[in-house]
């Protein structure tokens, strides 16, 4: 049974059944994994497939954090243009990292196919929409980067954008044919099902409360027993708590809210007819997509203020849809929710080795589906000692963000003000 049902429209509409199993008590394994989101479940799946025993420890339910609250866009690359990523990481890791994340969606889609995960998958691409002429100039530069790499990313005119999206408000866009959309909770539950089938154990309803060394092993203490493991992976990202001192200070936490309409009829068939997910170039980004049930999901940075049927976020969503699609009749919203994003100062993720055999990938900057899946596989490869395998990023020590908590509050105030302004 869900702890907070539903946490998003994706939990309510997921075709994959819940696979939650309450934590069974003391265990001894090769690798203990804290967090049953994309990172933790991918680590467990790939570790189990490599012959390691794995125990996932989850305080709430599978997909309770950012994974089950995601927008569901399976994007290639990062927030940053590929050239900037390569330059930031240097010649040792930059080219390989860019190539790995260029192919990120194809790996996610391969797992969905291999394990027959029911998650409403589309592979028709995603659209980065220019909200203004300045946004179009940025997209033109990004397009040039992708063209130099020979990637199937198309620069769209205003008229082409209108045909793909059903609105003429955007100044142009990028269509990335490598990408697609999923029901993010369905994908999360499917990873869990695959991990259990491979031999991993997943225990929900037990919060990890302490970590300590005992000789060559780690002891993970929970409210319902202890797990003894040679390796530990913390897969908590933006939902990191006080389990490891000051780890939650290495990123700035921001909220992202979404509202979902009730299923719409033929009058909305012109909106994203190919079901590509969309996000724009605005400084306070917004997103739009259409799910398999004919609902529209619209979101932006910030918290849900109010409920699905009334309040500030409801007014913002109603106004936004009316601006995008003035011919669309007023719609009913049936769910509203928010998730948390871990942002780093340079918009690059991190892999930290916090102590011997204790790892955490963190700071996904809103790209959790591909990043969590790929980093989980990479950590499983490292732990299992696969020859020739190396992590996609250099392992670094945690570096707290100066004023990160203050920044979170400043951003929250700015995002709330944006909802107010856009709701008038």
Q: Does pLDDT of 2 surpass 50?
A: no
pLDDT of residue 95: 93
**Beta carbons within 10 angstroms of residue 130's beta carbon:** 24
**Is residue 128 over pLDDT 50?**
yes
The more confidently predicted of residues 289 and 92 is 289
Q: What is the pLDDT of residue 5?
A: 59
Domain layout of the chain by residue ranges = 9-70+185-241+347-399, 126-177
State both tokens at 412. 């929250």
CA 130, 133, 137, 140 torsion-angle sign: positive
Which CATH class for the 9-70+185-241+347-399 domain?
A: alpha beta
Residue 255, strand partner residues = 340
Residue 338 has a pLDDT of 98
Q: What's the pLDDT tens digit per position in 140-160?
A: 999 999 999 999 999 999 999
Q: What is the mean pLDDT of residues 61-78?
A: 97
- Binning the chain into helix, strand and coil, the percentages to the nearest 5 are 35, 25, 40
pLDDT higher than threshold 60 for residue 3: no
Percent of the chain with pLDDT over 90: 93
pLDDT at 398 over 60: yes
CB 7 within 8 A of CB 64: yes
- In this predicted structure, the answer to whether residue 353 has a pLDDT above a threshold of 60 is yes
The answer to whether 178 touches 126, Cβ cutoff 8 Å, is no
User: Coil, helix or strand for 76?
Assistant: coil
Helix axes 368-384, 82-102, angle to 10 degrees: 60
pTM of the model: 0.96
Two tokens, residue 345:
């100062």
Whether pLDDT at 357 is above 90:
yes
The structure tokens 């932006």 sit at 300
Per-residue tokens: 101: 């994340």
d(CA 167, CA 179) in angstroms, rounded, equals: 21
Average pLDDT taken over every residue of the chain: 95
For the record, the structure tokens of 269 come out as 């068939």
Looking at residues 164-182, what average pLDDT do you find? 98
Contact 70, 184 (CB under 8 A): yes
Amino acid 390: pLDDT: 81
**pLDDT over 90 (residue 299):** yes
């Amino acid at each position: 049974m869900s702890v907070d049902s539903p946490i998003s429209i994706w939990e309510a509409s997921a075709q994959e059944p819940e696979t939650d199993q309450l934590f069974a008590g003391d265990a001894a394994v090769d690798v203990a994994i804290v967090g049953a989101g994309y990172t933790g479940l991918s680590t467990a799946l790939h570790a189990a497939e490599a012959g390691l025993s794995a125990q996932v420890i989850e305080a709430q339910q599978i997909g309770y954090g950012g994974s089950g609250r995601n927008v569901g866009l399976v994007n290639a690359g990062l927030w940053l243009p590929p050239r900037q990523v390569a330059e930031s990481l240097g010649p040792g890791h930059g080219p390989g990292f860019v190539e790995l994340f260029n192919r990120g969606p194809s790996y996610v889609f391969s797992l969905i196919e291999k394990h027959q995960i029911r998650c409403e998958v589309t592979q028709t691409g995603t659209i980065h929409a220019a909200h203004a002429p300045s946004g179009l100039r940025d997209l033109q530069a990004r397009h040039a980067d992708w063209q130099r790499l020979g990637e199937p990313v198309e620069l769209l005119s205003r008229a082409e954008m209108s045909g793909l999206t059903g609105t003429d408000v955007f100044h142009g866009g990028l269509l990335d044919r490598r990408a697609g959309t999923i029901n993010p909770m369905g994908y999360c539950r499917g990873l869990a099902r695959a991990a259990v089938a491979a031999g991993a154990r997943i225990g929900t309803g037990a919060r990890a409360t302490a970590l300590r060394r005992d000789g060559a092993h780690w002891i993970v203490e929970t409210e319902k027993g202890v797990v003894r493991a040679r390796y530990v992976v913390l897969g908590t990202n933006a939902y990191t708590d006080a389990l490891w001192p000051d780890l939650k200070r290495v990123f700035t936490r921001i909220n992202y809210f979404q509202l979902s309409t009730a299923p719409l009829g033929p009058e909305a068939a012109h909106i994203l007819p190919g079901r590509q997910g969309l996000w724009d170039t605005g400084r306070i980004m917004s997103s739009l997509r259409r799910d398999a049930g004919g609902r529209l999901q619209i979101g932006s940075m910030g918290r849900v203020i109010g409920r699905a049927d009334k309040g500030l976020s409801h007014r913002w969503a109603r106004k936004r849809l009316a601006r995008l699609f003035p011919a669309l009749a007023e719609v009913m919203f049936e769910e509203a929710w928010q998730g948390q994003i871990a942002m780093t100062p340079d918009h690059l993720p991190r892999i930290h080795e916090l102590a011997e055999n204790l790892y955490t990938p963190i700071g996904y900057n809103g790209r959790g589906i591909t990043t969590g899946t790929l980093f989980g596989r990479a950590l499983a490869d490292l732990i299992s000692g696969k020859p020739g395998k190396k992590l996609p990023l250099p392992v670094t020590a945690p570096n707290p963000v100066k004023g990160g908590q203050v920044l979170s509050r400043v951003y929250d105030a700015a995002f709330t003000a944006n909802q107010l302004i856009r709701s008038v």
